[in-house]
């Protein structure tokens, strides 16, 4: 029963994203929701690495069985035997096929969302450029989330309708 309630909320959020952003495909809406999920709630700064990771997980769930076998084989044969720790720069050159694809998809969608005016970047000469979510963010929508303010937090709580 609970799963149906959350599925209904997800469908309502997707419809609202489509309406506010003019995105049409399920993949477009899913990836835009990753941008929303991984952006600062006040300023909209997007955490690019987290978006790429969410895209990687999305691709992993939706890819074909042969691709899943290839990804497992890569991780077993190459990923586990490289002497470079995962947080080191060198691991960038030994990315799995899906993580490489996730980075490409992120770049494509970043450009697409910039063209639609949903994402922009900071323009400060002293700091590197960061993408900013300028379009609709369902986490800031009072229809779906209630703000919770405390001294150290400006989080959100999902509004679950009563039965």
pLDDT of residue 90: 44
Q: Is the dihedral of CA 23, 25, 28, 34 positive or negative?
A: positive
Sequence length of the chain is 163
CB atoms within 10 A of CB 134: 16
Residue segments in the chain with a per-residue pLDDT below the cut of 50: 87-90
Q: pTM for the complete prediction?
A: 0.82
Instruction: Please identify which residue in the block is written with the tokens 């039965």.
Output: 163
- Conformational region of residue 140, where left means phi above 0, alpha means psi within -120 to 50, and beta covers everything else: alpha
**What's the pLDDT tens digit per position in 79-119?**
555 555 554 444 555 677 888 899 999 999 999 999 999 99
pLDDT of residue 86: 52
> What residue spans define the domains of the chain?
2-68+99-158
The average confidence (pLDDT) of the chain is 82
Taking the C-alpha atoms of residue 67 and residue 71, their distance in angstroms, rounded to an integer, is 6
């Amino acid at each position: 029963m609970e799963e149906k309630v959350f599925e209904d909320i997800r469908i309502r959020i997707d419809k609202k994203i489509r309406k506010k952003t003019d995105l049409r495909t399920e993949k477009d809406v899913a990836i835009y929701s990753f941008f929303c999920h991984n952006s600062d709630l006040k300023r909209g700064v997007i955490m690019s690495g987290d978006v790429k990771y969410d895209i990687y997980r999305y691709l992993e769930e939706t890819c074909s069985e042969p691709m899943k076998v290839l990804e497992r084989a890569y991780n077993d044969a190459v990923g586990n035997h490289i002497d470079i720790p995962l947080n080191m720069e060198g691991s960038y050159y030994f990315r799995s096929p899906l993580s490489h694809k996730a980075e490409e998809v992120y770049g494509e969608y970043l450009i697409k969302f910039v063209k639609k005016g949903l994402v922009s970047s900071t323009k400060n000469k002293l700091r590197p450029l960061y993408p900013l979510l300028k379009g609709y963010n369902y986490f800031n929508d009072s229809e779906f989330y209630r703000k919770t303010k405390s001294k150290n937090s400006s989080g959100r709580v999902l509004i679950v309708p009563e039965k």
